[in-house]
Amino acid sequence: MQSKSNSGQSQASYRDLTENEIADFARDGVICLRGLYSSEWVERLAKELDTIRERGVLGTGIKVDGSYYEWLQNDVIRDFVLFGPTAKPVAQALSTQRLNFFYDQVFIKEKLGGKGTPWHHDHTFWPLEGSQIASVWTAMEPVTASGSALEFVAGSHLWGKKFEAVGVGGSVPSNDKVEALPDIDANRDQYRILSWELEPGDALLFNAMILHGSRPNSAALTRRAITTRWTGDDVRYKPIEGVVRELWPHDLKGGDAISGSLYPQILPCLLDAEVGQRLNGPIAPDAVRLEAFVTSLKGRIAAAM
């Protein structure tokens, strides 16, 4: 089961999702895909995540426990996104014909004390509107409850609520009216909380509206994870006022379908017009935007100290 892209390369295959998995995803907002990634993928990615961890966010030397949009500069992550086995199960879960790649994000939780991730849902962080949006998270080592396993509030993607975008670095603006997050930890017995212990190669596929987070890493193993984020047919660009989020320029305006070299179509096939440049080599971020990003990040770090 391989689909040829215009660029002549193929997406790796994974088994089709079962009807039960698709129904679980619709009801709970999250499913666990055991063995989605081969040991070869895990080995290749683990090496790159170590390098990213050393080089800091976007290679700036600033260590903030992760990075993002690495696929634009890192060839292993590029190939993982464009040719790996993630896109097909995501398209099946979202029931979409067209699937675009949104971005990748790396999360490093240092052993014996890496900070947890506050409860949040992803949608309100992003310049998007639409319902067919999902992420796939995988870690390079076995993940245990004490080792910062992800937790999800089952069904919270169906609550019809948009919550304040609160990440590890605090609250950020959204493109929508948002409300305060419920105190999930104080009322854990009122929610159906799902979590999985994982082996390398296992992955969690989850809806952009589901509340999720992770507790601090108290295990003796650093947890290196990568999430890839995907959009389907009904998703449109919706800028967040006053926020320049992307460090790479693009032509999308409010209401546009997701497309272009920053957010390329992956299924039904890659398009040379969108991925040709990236297949020819890394694409550096815009220097002015990168400088502004670094200045603002340093400011936030100083303010938090």
Ligand X SMILES: O=C(O)CCC(=O)C(=O)O
Interface with ligand X (CB under 6 A): 105, 107, 117, 122, 135, 137, 148, 150, 212, 214, 225, 227
Identity of the residue, 49 or 275, whose beta carbon is nearer to ligand X in the bound complex: 49
Tell me how far apart the alpha carbons of residues 51 and 43 are, in angstroms, rounded to a whole number. 13
Please state the separation of Cα 180 from the chain's center in Å: 23
CB of 87 to ligand X, least distance (A): 17
Identity of the residue, 227 or 261, whose beta carbon is nearer to ligand X in the bound complex: 227
Buried b (16+ CB within 10 A) or exposed e, 16-29: ebeeebbebbeebb
Identity of the residue, 148 or 222, whose beta carbon is nearer to ligand X in the bound complex: 148
CB of 151 to ligand X, least distance (A): 9
Identity of the residue, 122 or 202, whose beta carbon is nearer to ligand X in the bound complex: 122
Identity of the residue, 73 or 135, whose beta carbon is nearer to ligand X in the bound complex: 135
CB of 29 to ligand X, least distance (A): 12
CB of 212 to ligand X, least distance (A): 6
Tell me how far apart the alpha carbons of residues 247 and 84 are, in angstroms, rounded to a whole number. 25
Distance set, CA 66 to CA 17, 52, 156, 192 (Å)? 30, 8, 26, 29
Of all helices (H) and strands (E), which one includes residue 236? Answer: strand 236-237
Tell me how far apart the alpha carbons of residues 302 and 296 are, in angstroms, rounded to a whole number. 10
Three-state SS for 76? helix
CB of 9 to ligand X, least distance (A): 26
